[in-house]
Amino acid sequence: MMAQIWEHSNVLKRKMKSKATLIILLFFFSFPSFSQENNTGFSILFYNVENLFDTKDNPLTEDNEFTPEGVRHWTNKRLNSKLSHISKVILSASGWDLPVVVALCEIENKAVLKQLLSTTPLKSVGYKIIHKESPDHRGIDVAFLYNSKQFTPVKYNYYPLKDKNNSILKTREILYVSGVVNETDTIHFFINHWPSRYSGLLNTQPLRIAAAKLLLQKVTEIAKQNSTPKIIIMGDFNDQPGDESISAFLKAKELNTIAKNNELYNLSFNWLKNGHGTLKYQSQWSVFDQIIVSGALLNAKKGITTKLENAEVVSYPFLFVKDEKYGGRKPNRTYFGYSYKGGFSDHLPILLRLESTN
């Protein structure tokens, strides 16, 4: 009798185990993969990562503070922690599907990008890198990471800012990348990190106007070759959507009417009005990080397209800390002044979701 009970119990256990396995398999296959190879939609991420420096002193740039002996005591341990944080942002920014393109600014060199892609969970993704050293006096650059299974670069270039004497200014260049998405459609990317306001708003405003003029010139050149160019402009502009450099000189408009193919539309125009800033100074939120697209991308009936609501500020709770002084919350940054906080960045990431009309 006991033997029969024991055997019956084992049969029940085997059935329960088989059922549990089936449930797990069904659960697993009911969710989308982290790979986007077979998906028609994909996303583009831009992130000012706040001073991603290596720990070595480059004698050609002003990076001394980001060394173990410097005023910020920038060590390998702190660097590895920051790389882990950036990896977490990229992996979680667009939900189940990883961004096909990740544009970054405030990175020192290709070495830190390679470290990001080889020592963090991003190593399983297989992102490739487009980067060159900029003439910036601090040595910080913009960079372009892409999943080569979905995006094939056709050409790229870096456009430096120049003064009236045609001398190259010691600031970041504008990165241009043109490529084919999912072997079907061509997208033109411009990645920006315009001159900062560090020396004062009025003193530095002409530099950002110069950047806007340069960018519009390159956009116009593309439009002359293609009447319906699909253009995505992302970056930290150090100005807000309504400021003169962007609204008057770049001519990036608010999308409140039917889009025209060869006009530029700022999808970030109403973020602040809707309570979404990308960085905070004292009690004031601002939108320096923005997404601007061509009307042709918005109007597309074939291939890749997007819409206003597809542009967003990434605002996961781990990207914030409580603002004890001014109330509310603020970005969970790596440094506050020279005080190490161990957070992510003083900027929030921004994301654009694209769709296929095929």
pLDDT digits (tens, 9 = 90+) for 279-289: 999 999 999 99
3-state SS, residue 52: strand
CA distance 78 to 82: 6
Say which residue, 78 or 97, is predicted with more confidence.
78
Q: Where in the sequence is the domain holding 217, given as residue range(s)? A: 41-356
pLDDT tier for residue 358 given thresholds of 50, 70 and 90: low
CA distance 205 to 200: 8
Domain of 232, CATH number, reads: 3.60.10.10
| pLDDT at residue 285, as a whole number | 98
- What's at 230, amino acid-wise? K
| pLDDT at residue 40, as a whole number | 56
What is the overall mean pLDDT for the chain? 90
Q: What is this structure's pTM?
A: 0.89
Whether 28 shows a pLDDT value over 80: the answer reads no
pLDDT tier for residue 220 given thresholds of 50, 70 and 90: very high
pLDDT tier for residue 16 given thresholds of 50, 70 and 90: very low
Question: Is residue 139 assigned to a domain?
Answer: yes
| pLDDT at residue 241, as a whole number | 98
pLDDT digits (tens, 9 = 90+) for 310-347: 999 999 999 999 999 999 999 999 999 999 999 999 99
Kindly state the percentage of the chain with pLDDT values over 90.
83
Q: CB–CB of 343/332 below 8 Å?
A: yes
Whether 26 shows a pLDDT value over 80: the answer reads no
pLDDT digits (tens, 9 = 90+) for 50-70: 999 999 999 999 999 999 999
Q: DSSP per residue over 203-262, as a string?
A: HHHHHHHHHHHHHHHHHHHHHHH-SS--EEEEEE-SS-TTSHIIIIIS-EEE--SPPPTT
Question: Is residue 11 assigned to a domain?
Answer: no
Question: Is residue 261 assigned to a domain?
Answer: yes
Question: Is residue 31 assigned to a domain?
Answer: no
Kindly state the percentage of the chain with pLDDT values over 70.
88
Whether 21 shows a pLDDT value over 70: the answer reads no
CA distance 135 to 176: 16
pLDDT tier for residue 168 given thresholds of 50, 70 and 90: very high
pLDDT tier for residue 202 given thresholds of 50, 70 and 90: confident
What distance lies between CA 278 and its chain's CA centroid?
Answer: 12
| pLDDT at residue 73, as a whole number | 97
Question: Is residue 33 assigned to a domain?
Answer: no
Whether 19 shows a pLDDT value over 90: the answer reads no
Q: CB–CB of 105/235 below 8 Å?
A: yes
Question: Is residue 127 assigned to a domain?
Answer: yes
Say which residue, 176 or 356, is predicted with more confidence.
176
Say which residue, 13 or 266, is predicted with more confidence.
266
β-strand pairing of 279-281 with 264-266: unpaired
| pLDDT at residue 199, as a whole number | 76
H/E element, 23: helix 2-29
pLDDT digits (tens, 9 = 90+) for 227-274: 899 999 999 999 999 999 999 999 999 999 999 999 999 999 999 999
Whether 135 shows a pLDDT value over 70: the answer reads yes
Question: Is residue 171 assigned to a domain?
Answer: yes
Question: Is residue 190 assigned to a domain?
Answer: yes
pLDDT tier for residue 290 given thresholds of 50, 70 and 90: very high
* Site of tokens 């995505």: 232
* Site of tokens 């393109």: 101
Q: Which residues of 214-230 are buried (b: 16+ CB within 10 A; e: fewer)?
A: bbeebbeebbeeeeebb
pLDDT digits (tens, 9 = 90+) for 89-108: 999 999 889 999 999 999 99
Q: What is the mean pLDDT of residues 162-187?
A: 94
In the chain, the number of structural domains is 1
